Structure 1
C-alpha cells in the first residue's frame, strides 16, 4: 500500500489550558518509519498492538492530562484511535509528537 494514500487527522484536547490542537496530513508528509507506524495502527487489533481498548480508559489523575484522537484512513480502511496521556502505546508516541508539531490551535467542538 502506498504511503501517499495514507491520510491522518489528529486532535489533542484537554490539558490545563484546554486548548484544542488539530492537524491533517498525508503519510507522505511523515518520516517513513512513522508512516509505517500509522499503517500498523490502522491494522492493529489488540491494545498491545496499539489498537483501541474494549472500553474508554478510566480518567487519569490530574486535570492537566491530554486526550488524543487520531483518525487514520488508507483506501477503504479507516480507524479512529483515542488515548489519554497515560494510555498512549509506546509505538505511537513518536507519531503523536510529529502530528503535535504540525498541529494548530482550533475551536473546541
Structure 2
C-alpha cells in the first residue's frame, strides 16, 4: 500500500466525525506510517476529535506516525496536548510516550 492510500484512509476517518471510531476500526489495518503527516495532523487538531475521542485519536496517531522524517512537530505536540487535556491518564500510555519523543 502506498503513502497516498494511507493519507486517503486517514482523511476518510477524520471526515467521519461522530463515526470516527467506527471508521477508524474499518481502516486501521490498512494504515501505515505517513512520511509527511503535517497536513493530516493539522486536520486532526482542527477536527476536535482529540477532545471527543482521545483514545481512538491516539490509536490513529500511533498508526500513522513513524520515525520522524519531517520537521513540523508543533502539530503533533498540539494533538498530544489535546489528548492529555481530555484524558490525562493517557500520558502514561506507551503509544503516547513513543509519539511524545517526536513532538518535543
Which structure features the higher share of helix residues? 2
Which of 1 and 2 has higher RCO (CA within 8 Å, sep 6+)?
1
Would the TM-score normalized by the shorter structure come out above 0.5?
Answer: no
Greater C-alpha Rg: 1
Which structure features the higher share of strand residues? 1
TM-score when scaled to structure 2?
Answer: 0.30
